[in-house]
Amino acid sequence: MKILVVGGAGYVGSTSVERFVEAGHEVIVYDNLSSGHRPAVPEGVQLVVGDIADGDRIGSILADGVDAVLHCAARSLVGESMIDPGLYYRTNVSGGVALLESMRAVGVTRLVFSSTAAVYGEPRRVPIAEADRTEPINPYGATKLAFEGAMRWFCAAHDFRAISLRYFNVAGATELNGEDHDPETHLMPLILRVAAGLATHVQIHGQDYPTPDGTCIRDFLHVRDIANAHLLALEATGESDASLEVYNLGSAAGFSVREVVEAARRVTGRAIPARPIKRRVGDPPVLVASSKRARRELGWHPKDSTLEPMLADAWAWHEAHPNGYADHSTDGSGPTPSVQVAARGR
């Protein structure tokens, strides 16, 4: 299979590219490097630097024998989306529709979308199932849901075969690729920054939630398990009828913030001071997605999504790359100012 990965130089996208190559597929990466990194693209994989809204350019790539598309490109910072919702609608919705139009024009109809469980908003029950209500509480989740709607109608009108994968937090690393965001907003890399001596402490937002240790419980999946889900989903689009199928990816249990901190102390052997502060407005006590359907229908089974393997892999990558991808970039090819294509790296 020849696969185009849009946003394939980002954290999740690049790890998926690794998995596809390992499985024997031919891969092309399309990314504007706004939050992706040129060194994250595996050796031997073609990288085309470009904008998701450039339909002619994407169309020319698709017309060269591409069988399927993995779409990992998006703006993905909740806080930023609240400040500049227009940016999120331009990138996540308008840019995504431009991709769909490019695919339709050349007859490529197989698509997997790297979505988010943020489309559910504040859930009424956990673990969250695919049939539960979708009421996002920020533009980030709303734009992801809006693009899913566009996919659904393209499936009906143009015989697309599409799968959307919804999940919460991604963690871990491979030997080649890890998390390198600016700014960094995710819990595990922030904790590891403290372990590395780059920050003095980690903040714990609230310790009086109705959970066993009083801190929030969140879903975490190893990036390798997400990459494998992307591969299984792409393969499934070759066997399905024209439709959009939605699958949650989750651990079914989740981990508390305090559990993550304690596990990081064990893995790194560092003290990692933690300071409790007040709750953040709108933080539910527990956010966990059910993956029963993905396990049953896609045959997906997370193998590495327990705390210590995720943290150990992330810590090994950060120790080997203390300056992130800047350790590999000697030609000034790091992130560029463009904001239209950004591989999600939650």
Residue 191 tokens, joined = 């904790």
332 has a pLDDT exceeding 80: no
Residue 235 counted as domain residue: yes
326 has a pLDDT exceeding 90: no
pLDDT score for 346 = 39
**Higher pLDDT pick, 182 / 158:** 158
Residue 184 counted as domain residue: yes
Sign, CA dihedral 134-135-138-139, equals positive
164 has a pLDDT exceeding 70: yes
The span from the CA of 290 to the CA of 306, in Å, is 16
Active site residue 140: yes
The span from the CA of 325 to the CA of 281, in Å, is 34
Residue 342 counted as domain residue: no
Strand partners, 171: 222
102 has a pLDDT exceeding 90: yes
92 has a pLDDT exceeding 80: yes
pLDDT score for 328 = 67
Give the model confidence (pLDDT) of 120-138 as tens digits.
999 999 999 999 999 999 9
Domain range for 43 is: 2-327
Residue 103 counted as domain residue: yes
Residue 345 counted as domain residue: no
The span from the CA of 329 to the CA of 170, in Å, is 24
Asked if 157 and 319 count as a contact pair (C-beta separation under 8 A), the reply is no
With a CB cutoff of 8 Å and minimum separation 6, the contacts of 145 are: 119, 134, 136
Residue 56 tokens, joined = 């002619």
The span from the CA of 85 to the CA of 20, in Å, is 33
The span from the CA of 220 to the CA of 174, in Å, is 16
Residue 333 counted as domain residue: no
pLDDT > 70: what percent of the chain? Answer: 95
Residue 337: asked if its preceding bond is cis (omega within 30°), the reply is no
Helical axes 55-62 vs 96-106, angle rounded to 10°: 40
335 has a pLDDT exceeding 80: no
pLDDT score for 71 = 98
pLDDT > 90: what percent of the chain? Answer: 88
Which of 120, 140, 209, 247 is an active site residue?
140
344 has a pLDDT exceeding 60: no
3-state SS of the chain is: CEEEEECCCCHHHHHHHHHHHHCCCEEEEEECCCCCCHHHCCCCCEEEECCCCCHHHHHHHHCCCCCEEEECECCCCHHHHHHCHHHHHHHHHHHHHHHHHHHHHHCCCEEEEECCHHHHCCCCCCCECCCCCCCCCCHHHHHHHHHHHHHHHHHHHHCCEEEEEECCEEECCCCCCCCCCCCCCCHHHHHHHHHCCCCCCEEEECCCCCCCCCCCEECEEEHHHHHHHHHHHHHHHCCCCCEEEEEECCCCCCEEHHHHHHHHHHHHCCCCCEEEECCCCCCCCEECECCHHHHHHHCCCCCCCCHHHHHHHHHHHHHHCCCHHHHCCCCCCCCCCCCCCCECCC
Mean pLDDT score of the chain? 92
Report the candidate in 217, 218, 211, 206 with the shortest Cα–Cα distance to residue 277.
206
Residue 332 counted as domain residue: no
pLDDT score for 334 = 38
Lowest mean pLDDT among 21-25, 147-151, 341-345: 341-345
Give the model confidence (pLDDT) of 216-266 as tens digits.
999 999 999 999 999 999 999 998 889 999 999 998 789 999 999 999 999
pLDDT score for 336 = 29
- How many domains is the chain built from? 1
CA 314-317-322 angle, to 5 degrees, is 115
- Residue 313 is part of a domain; what is its CATH number? 3.40.50.720
Residue 38 counted as domain residue: yes
